[in-house]
Amino acid sequence: MVSSGFRPLDAHLPGGGWPLGALTEILIDDIAHSPLWLVLPGLLRLTALKHHQIWVHPPHIPYPPALASRGINLDKTVILKPRQETDALWA
């Protein structure tokens, strides 16, 4: 488990934070309001712990220089964009 960086959110997450070694799906109504600000503290903690981060079928490919400028280790970041949405289920 890694803290989300937001105590009110951690209180609602199983185990008190984002699970390690598991898939976390974030559903949003409007992609214009990206949830990146919500997961960034957790991603930074994963970077500090030298863990990999795998993004499966994000609606938009994140801009790598922007992630790096926030402190995300791109060498430990994998973005999977399958050709078909159904293939994301197997990732």
Domain membership of residue 41 (yes or no) is yes
The set of residues, in sequence order, having a beta carbon less than 8 Å from that of 52 and lying 6+ positions away, is: 46, 76, 77, 78
Is the pLDDT higher at 27 or at 13? 13
Residue 37's domain comprises 7-88
β-bridge partners, 56: 80
Domain membership of residue 29 (yes or no) is yes
| Mean pLDDT of the residues in the chain | 89
Instruction: Report the share of the chain in percent with pLDDT over 70.
Output: 99
Domain membership of residue 39 (yes or no) is yes
Domain membership of residue 1 (yes or no) is no
How many whole angstroms separate alpha carbon 28 and alpha carbon 82?
A: 20
With cut-offs at 50, 70 and 90, classify the pLDDT of residue 5: very high
Each as own residue / partner, the long-range contacts of residues 9-14 (CB below 8 Å, 24 or more positions apart, any chain) are: 9/38
Domain membership of residue 2 (yes or no) is no
Q: How many structural domains is the chain composed of?
A: 1
